[in-house]
Each structure stands twice: as C-alpha cells, then as structure tokens.
Structure 1
C-alpha cells in the first residue's frame, strides 16, 4: 500500500472517534504519533480500510496527579514525559524509558498510548509501566473498562483492546520519596533502535545501608510479552544489596527470562544481556541512593 492510497479521517472529538469505530462495514486503525504506522504500512502489516488520525485531540494529551494516582493521556509524547517535573519526581523509571525511545524526532512524535497500543514486547515504555502498576482505560461507543497492564497484553502485537475501542487514559501509581527507578536498554545502535533486551527497575529503599524493602523488575524483548521477574524481586529483600547480592540477583534473571533467537540476537545472548542489564541497573540505583 502506497501512502497516496491511504484513506484517512480526522475526528474533532473523542466521541466522534468512538462513533467512527462503531461502524461495522469498515476496518479502522487509530493513528497517533505515526512512528510505528509508517513502518507497518510499508511492510504491508497494517492495511485498514480507513485510518483515524487523532493527533489533534488535545483532550487526550495531559499529565496530572489525582487521588487515585497519576493520569497520563494516550497522546502524551515521550518528550512531554521527559520534561514533566511531576514524573521526574514520582515516575523516574518512565522518564528514563522515554529518553531511550529512538532519536529525539521519535520522542517528539511518538506517544505513550501508541507505544502501548502497538503491544510490542520490545516497547521501551511498557516495562516501566509494568513496574508502576499501570492501568489502561479503554472506551468504545457504548462501554468503558479498565484493565491492569499485567493482563492487557496477550502476545506479540496483541492485547485485549478490541477493534471498536480506543485507549483514553493511562493510570500509574506514583513512586514514594524512598523509591528510585531506572531503565536499561540494549540495542544495535544507540538511541535509534528496537531493543534487543530492556529492563525497568523500581526499588523502595529502607533507612539502613543498601536496604531494599521491596522492588519491581520487568523485562522486555525476552518473551512473547513483557514479564515481571518475580524470583529476582523476592531476592532483593533478603539482605543488603551488596555487590555479591546484586550479582546473585542478576544471575537468577538468566534463568527467569524466556527469549527466542531471531535476526537481531540469539536466545543465549539475550539471556546474558538480561542478566548484565539488571546488574548494571542495580549498581546504578545503589550509587544514586548513596549519593542522595
């Protein structure tokens, strides 16, 4: 399909968009930032009857804190997130992930909702959303539902989002003052590539030296969907995160991930890099915490 052959509409409101999606005799695909869509159209993977361009729906672009957590609109760009003072203080792991989403042009155009909607197991922001216990709000013309992110993805490029639904809100749990996070990524080219492996880490620290009260770890590009590293998480609280303890936790990650071999990397290489990225991330977090 050539770009000149694409049929596109631009609704003026969310309600107009939902009305379009409810039409039964056509297939639709929502276009937000368009950074994934260009590639998928070129590869003839996505070929809907009509594209729905929503990038001018400003009501879907926001970052605000409410009683139930921090709400982020699906049209919020990665650059918006990087520059948000609120998220720098209360969701540093997501800010770190957005800094790694391609080149600056991709960060300016790409949206958080688009990254979630594409449902790629290599999506950089998705592991960060996992460790922040995100919830995804979906709306159709006749209904609304909220799905925890750990239930949202069902396979590579697949989620529970139905064709007549659109993402209208992303809710995350804010980090406390004693929580710190980081995001580590391995790609074939710095800052402009799909992840070979990535990992998001968020730790809640105690008052003693290197004392971890709890932690969350999520790996991307090592399984059909993002995975939480539950065994590694349990090990974080067994004692101070000394150098030896960090190496033990990282060694467990090698056994817990379930990668495949493809044109970008072998399964064994991904396992080794998952372990190395986790080790590097934990060392960096300990250094940051000690410097505070």
Structure 2
C-alpha cells in the first residue's frame, strides 16, 4: 500500500475528530507532525486505512499555566517548547529534552503528543514528563479521563489509549524556584537520531552547600518503558552532592536499569552509559547551582 492510496480526513474541531475516531469500522490513525508515523508505515509497522490529519488544529497547540499545573497541548511542537520562557523557568528538564530532539526540521514538525502516542522507550520528551509527574488527558466521544503518566504506557509502542481516544491535554508539575533539571542523551550522532540511552533529572536544592532535598530521575531506552531510579533518588538526599557522592549515585544506576541488547547497543553498554549520563547530568547541575 502506497501513502498516496490512503484516505485522509481533516477535522477542524476536536469534536469532529472524536466522531471520526468513534467509527470502529475503519482502521484510522492520527497524523500530527508525521515524523514517526509515516516512517513506521513505510516500514510496514502501521498501515491505517485512513489518516486523520490534526496538524492544523490550533486549539490543541498551547502552553499555559493555571492553579493545577502547566498545561501543554498535544500538538505543541518541540520548537514551541524551546521558545517558551515559562517552560525554561518552570520545566527546564522538558525544554532541555526538546533541544535534543532531532534536527531543526524535526523540532518544527514533531509534537509532544506524537512522542507520547508513539510510546517509544527512547522518546526524548517522555523521561522529563515522568520527572514532572505528568498527567495525560484522554478524550473520546463518550467523555474524558486523566491518567498519571506512570499508568499510560503498557510496553514498547503500547499505551492504554483506546482507538476511539485522543490525547487532548498534558498537565505537568511546575518546578519550584529551588529546583533545577537537565536532560542527557547518547545517540550515534548528537541530536540527530534516536537515543541509545537518555536520562532526565530534576533536583530540589536546600540552603546547605550542595544540599539536595529531593531528586527525581527517569531513564529512557533502557527498558520496555521509561524507568524511574528510586535508589538513586534516595541516595541524592543522604549527603552533600560532592563529586565523589555523585559518582556513587551514578554507580547505582547500573542496577536500576533493565536494558536489552539490540542492533544499536549491547545491554552492558547501555548500563554503563546510563551511569555515565547520570553522572554527567548531576555534575552539570551542581556546577549551575554553584554558579548561582
């Protein structure tokens, strides 16, 4: 089946889109940026009968804050995130990740909702969303439900989202004034390809020298879904984050991740790189904090 032989629907409202999704007689797929969907189809992984093109639905492209968090529309592009001062101020770990997503053309086209829907363990924006306690709003013609991001993924390429649902909102926890975050990625070429390993981290700092009150760490591409690092997180709060302590914390990452060997890297290499990327990120965060 060629791309040109697939039907295309272009709804103008969310309600119209949900109506199309409710038609269970056809195999449909949402198309936003298309940076992953079209590639997957050409590889024979996913060939819908009908595309539902939602790229021009501006009502799903926004970044705004209210009392229950920062709301990000699923059609918000990585470039939108990079250009948002709100996210650099209150969700720097997410903005940092979007900066590492592909080349400029991919950042202009790719969307945060598409990253979630693809559910790749290597998706760059997904670990930051774990760190930021994201909640995913799913809508269907029957109503809405909001699920924690930890419950959204079932495995590689698999989510709890039903065929009649679409992501309509992503709510994240804003970082506090004493909280700093970063994203580290290892790929074959810097910022141009899928991650071999990535890690997002955010630290809430105290008044003591390099005192960490709370830490959040999430690893990507080292398991069937994103993996939190609870042992590493607990170690962050036990002592001042000297260079030696950072090394000890990073060593624990070896035991927290569950990578596989595939055509891009061995499991052993991924374990080593998860540890190295965590150390690099923590060193960089401490330098930023020291310089404040």
TM-score, length-scaled by structure 1? 0.99
**Corresponding residue number in structure 1 for 2:16:** 16
Question: 1:4: how far off?
Answer: 1.3
CA distance in 2, matches of 1:156, 1:102: 20
**Corresponding residue number in structure 1 for 2:272:** 272
Matches within 5 A, 1:1-292: 1-292=1-292
The list of structure 1 runs, each at least 4 consecutive aligned residues, that deviate by more than 3 angstroms after superposition, is: none
CA distance in 1, matches of 2:146, 2:52: 22
CA distance in 2, matches of 1:213, 1:24: 50
Name the SS for the 1:167 alignment partner: strand
Name the SS for the 1:199 alignment partner: strand
CA distance in 2, matches of 1:197, 1:19: 39
CA distance in 1, matches of 2:239, 2:189: 37
Name the SS for the 2:46 alignment partner: coil
Name the SS for the 1:147 alignment partner: strand
Name the SS for the 1:209 alignment partner: coil
Deviations 1:259-278 (A, max 9, x none): 00000000000000000000
Name the SS for the 2:70 alignment partner: strand
- Aligned residues: CA RMSD: 0.5
CA distance in 2, matches of 1:150, 1:184: 21
Question: 1:41: how far off?
Answer: 1.1
Question: 1:281: how far off?
Answer: 0.2
CA distance in 1, matches of 2:210, 2:165: 45
Name the SS for the 2:138 alignment partner: strand
Question: 1:35: how far off?
Answer: 0.3
Deviations 1:3-37 (A, max 9, x none): 21121110010000000011121111000110001
Deviations 1:91-140 (A, max 9, x none): 00000000000001000000000000100000000000000000000000
Gaps of 5+ in 2: none
Name the SS for the 1:12 alignment partner: coil
CA distance in 1, matches of 2:95, 2:232: 23
Name the SS for the 2:277 alignment partner: helix
Name the SS for the 1:11 alignment partner: coil
Deviations 1:200-234 (A, max 9, x none): 00000001110000000000000000010000000
Number of residue pairs aligned between Structure 1 and Structure 2: 292
CA distance in 2, matches of 1:137, 1:227: 21
Question: 1:38: how far off?
Answer: 1.7
Question: 1:48: how far off?
Answer: 1.1
Question: 1:44: how far off?
Answer: 1.1
Question: 1:191: how far off?
Answer: 1.1
Deviations 1:232-275 (A, max 9, x none): 00000001001111000000001110000000000000000000
Question: 1:148: how far off?
Answer: 0.2
